[in-house]
Structure 1
Amino acid sequence: MPYTLTRIDETHAELRAWPHNALNPRGFVMVIAMGAATMAMPLIAVLGSRVLWGLLPFAGLALWGLWYGLDRNWKDRAILEEMVLDRQAVHLVRTNPRGPQQEWRADPHWVSLRLLPRGGPVENYLILAGGGREVELGAFLTPGERVQLHDELAPLLMRLKSYA
């Protein structure tokens, strides 16, 4: 699961959520190496001729495009959502890959957690409301992961609202 929910005690927990990373650094190297090898094979036939110099810039540009696309995707997934839940406040911080850090804070007694199976922008839309605002939680998670996160957070939020 691309999130961890750490329960420090009955009324204090920390959530860290991040996008799933399907391509590790070793896989990145393998994709680039296989792309370079695949582009080099047809160029073997024109080795030693002037045609090679006509095709080489296009092969290099295609390889650079693959590198740039994978690297950009890697950096775009550098999202982190951190939420601290306790009796004093529910505090959510979203660190974006490019752009400002977003923060949301609310009193736990007024916080509500809703899961919209349909009708939201995506399937199983997870909303945290309170403090006069609504924020989406785990936008990068799969629908099943959002349901599981809702099922783990709902009882914890209920415990924070109780005075026991």
Structure 2
Amino acid sequence: MPYEWIEPDGKDAPTVELHLWPYRSLLRKDFVLFIGGTCAIVLLPLLVLLGSPVLWALLPFFAIAVGGVWYAINHSYKSGEILEELRIWPDRITLEHIHPRQGRKSWEANPYWVQLKIDPNHDRITNYITLKGADRVVELGAFLPEDERAVVFSELQDRLRMVLNARND
């Protein structure tokens, strides 16, 4: 799953920390193999045209096709570098949304007053998770698949309850 729970150690460290990122089906090492395979498949029909002037007429189109595939996958990797970090202390909760092109966005509130909600029938995203606190509503894990958002919601609800119960003890 493209998220992990961290229980950091340290004096000023949060009680619990959640990192979320978009799912990637093609790893970087597989990207190299895919582009190599694409080049081989594209260039295979050109072997018949070796020594022919037609080869030079078709070669730019094949180069554009391979370059387009490379650009599209590379662009997908760049947009997949989103990271959300949710940190929970007994007296505060923070969410940092890190986007490669849009920069960092932060939110902070008191966990005692935070309302955690999931909307299974949201018009845009199924199982839409929101946190409401400090007069703001922020979304969490909108890039995750809907079934994983439901799991994250229940785990977050349990962890938040655990932190608040430990605070009251």
The TM tier, using the shorter chain, reads over 0.9
Post-superposition CA distance 1:4-37 (Å, at most 9, x none): 112358x810111111111112210111111111
Please tell me whether the aligned partners of residues 109 and 160 of structure 1 are also in contact (alpha carbons under 8 angstroms).
Answer: no
In the alignment, structure 1 residue 116 sits paired with structure 2 residue 113 = no
Where does structure 2 lack aligned partners over 5 or more consecutive residues?
A: none
| Structure 2 residue matching 1:31: 3-state secondary structure | helix
One-letter amino acid matched to 1:3: Y
**Letter of the structure 1 residue corresponding to residue 60 of structure 2:** P
Matches within 5 A, 1:66-85: 66-85=69-88
Gapped runs of 5+ residues in structure 1? none
RMSD over aligned CA atoms reads 1.5
Q: Is the 8 A contact 1:87 1:161 kept in 2?
A: yes
- What is the correspondence of 1:80-119 to structure 2 with a 5 Å cutoff? 80-119=83-122
Which residue of structure 2 aligns with residue 132 of structure 1? 135
Go from structure 1 to structure 2 and tell me whether the alpha carbon gap of 1:160 and 1:120 turns closer, same or farther (over 3 Å shift): farther
Per-residue CA deviation, residues 25-63 of structure 1 (Å, 9 max, x unaligned), is 221011111111111111112110110110001111111
Task: Find the aligned partners of 1:112 and 1:155 in 2 and give their Cα distance.
Answer: 13
- State which of 148, 153, 159 in structure 1 corresponds to 2:151: 148
| 2:68 maps to 1:65 | yes
Deviation at 1:159, TM superposition (A): 3.4
Q: State the Cα distance separating 1:120 from its structure 2 match.
A: 4.1
TM-score (norm 2): 0.91
Percent of aligned pairs with the same residue?
Answer: 37
SS in 1 for 2:122: coil
User: Does 1:33 find its partner at 2:36?
Assistant: yes
Q: Distance in 2 between matches of 1:97 and 1:120?
A: 27
Return the offset for 1:87. 1.4
Between the aligned partners of 1:83 and 1:65, the Cα distance in structure 2 is 36
Question: For each residue in 1:46-93, what CA deviation from the matched residue of structure 2 results, as whole angstroms up to 9, or x when unmatched?
Answer: 110110110001111111111111111011100110111011210000
